[in-house]
Amino acid sequence: PHLSLPTPLHIARTQRTKIHSTMTPHHRKLHVPVPSLATATLLLLPLALLAAVLVAVYHNEFALQSYLARPTCPSNDSDTSLTGRHVDVRVAPDFRLLIGVLTLPGLYERRHLMRTVYALQQPNLTAHVDVRFVFCRLASEEQRVLVALEAMQHGDVVELDCPENMDNGKTHAYLSSVPALFGDRAYDFVMKTDDDTFLRLPQLVESLNRAPREDLYYGCMVPCDVVRAQENEYMSGMGYVISWDLVEWIVAAADQIRNHTVGPEDRLVSSWFRGAGKGKNRVDTKPAMYGFPDRADHCAHELVPDTIAVHKLKNNGRWATTLKYFNFTAGLQSSKFYRMD
């Protein structure tokens, strides 16, 4: 007789039929109860309240985690978190200070020296400090070329629209131009100083942190050798700081001041304030601001550790003596390329 063997397809159909026949209706349809809206609300409400409390109490921690989770670009100035990400931590400065160094266009070497001296101090500052070199109109083709190179490389030169001078309105031109050049309320303080004055920026910042933010007239009060009447007092031109509101007043009082800009600039600035009842918050920084040691100078004395400014550094020798006293080259690393120890 002919034997017919089941094919694989037939076996599979037979097995499915057997399995289906053994399943009860209960097996064929599993009933899952669906919670009501009220039940779901009762379950989720405590979780929502807990989340709200955590966000309210630990807001900064959540913000920090969110910040750390964002991708950041590696930077040499960034800190590195435990996860390996680079985080740029920026701290708001205590205040903003503009230092205008009144100089002459042709003093290229002096500006190079001062740039180096002030740049080396920037990492230690808690305030934002900008140093700008200020002069009047350039007078020669040489200056136009060489100063242009400085502007391209450093971006820290300011050319005022005035004939070059020392006591013929240059300081007024500088102070009155600051808002137009840098913007409204760009700084908390504005300083005028000279190119023969050395400033220790960390000490200056620390001192200004304790000074009033308004109606401030700050510097080395002179004359130094006599008991002065207030009408004869003024801050030495070596370097004085005024608050932003006084800068705005100088701009607003242009008509009042215009005919009083010729003469010793430091005395004139004091006379402007005195005549208008301004600059009443006077801060005399002596003996921290003084002249380079010179017996003939009543405002001069020996170099001291608690110095803010040293004036009358008329040559490189005086600059070198002063910088050595304050250990400016202490951070120099040894190298096979030079022998300076």
Give the distance from CA 26 to its chain's centroid: 76
pLDDT digit string, tens, across residues 122-163: 998 999 999 999 999 999 999 999 999 999 999 999 999 999
- Quick one: which of 298, 305, 339 has its CA closest to 322? 305
- Cis peptide leading into 202, omega within 30 of 0? no
Side chain identity at 280, as an amino acid letter? K
- Could you tell me the two tokens for 47? 């979780």
What DSSP state is assigned to residue 73? -
Give the tens place of pLDDT for each residue, 109-118: 999 999 999 9
| CB proximity list for 266: less than 8 A, separation 6 or greater | 171, 222, 234, 235, 236, 237, 240
For 338, phi and psi rounded to 5 degrees? Answer: -155, 160
| pLDDT confidence bin for 340, thresholds 50/70/90 | confident
> What pLDDT, on the 0 to 100 scale, is given for residue 54?
55
The domain segmentation of the chain, as residue ranges, is: 96-326
**Is the pTM higher than 0.85?**
no
pLDDT at 74 over 60: no
Mean confidence (pLDDT) of the chain: 83
Answer whether residue 101 shows pLDDT above 80. Answer: yes
Output the pLDDT for position 68. Answer: 34
Residue tagged 């009447």 (tokens): 229
What is the arithmetic mean of pLDDT over 212-225?
94
pLDDT of residue 82: 37
Q: What's the pLDDT score for residue 90?
A: 62
The stretch 252-272 carries a mean pLDDT of: 94
177: tokens are: 């131009």
Confidence of residue 258 (pLDDT cuts 50, 70, 90): confident
Q: Residue 249, Cα to own-chain centre: how many angstroms?
A: 25
206 burial via Cβ count (<10 Å: 0-12, 13-18, 19+): middle
Q: Is pLDDT at 224 greater than 90 in this prediction?
A: no
Q: How would you classify the pairing of strands 234-243 and 79-80?
A: unpaired
Q: Is 86 helix (H, G, I), strand (E, B) or coil?
A: strand
Residues above pLDDT 90, as percent of the chain: 65
Structure tokens at 238: 């070596």
Nearest to 134 by CA among 88, 178, 183: 178
Q: Determine contact, residues 269/235, Cβ cutoff 8 Å.
A: yes
Task: Decide yes or no: CATH 3.30.530.20 for domain 96-326.
Answer: no
